[in-house]
Amino acid sequence: MLGVDPAALRWRKSSFSEAGNCVETATIHGKSVVLVRDSKHGNDAILALPATAWHEFLRKVRSSTAT
């Protein structure tokens, strides 16, 4: 996957995580990609998203929770 060992990345957990419901993200230096995984299953599937798509997703989530 993109030539990087997931264990070597700095994963960040969502500040909205509740017990057992955690999303983690990581970025790869020099690439416009955001990796997303379920922290309970860190060795399973990892989504690789274009950074622009991830930022648009966050923008929409934030705008929908602002009300």
Q: Which residues contact 19 (CB under 8 A, 6 or more apart)?
A: none
Supply the pLDDT for residue 53: 96
Residue with tokens 């020099």: 30
Supply the pLDDT for residue 57: 92
Contact 52, 44 (CB under 8 A): no
Question: pLDDT tens digits for 17-33?
Answer: 777 678 899 998 888 99
Q: Tell me: pLDDT of 1 over 70.
A: no
Supply the pLDDT for residue 14: 78
| 31 phi/psi in degrees, rounded to 5 | -125, 145
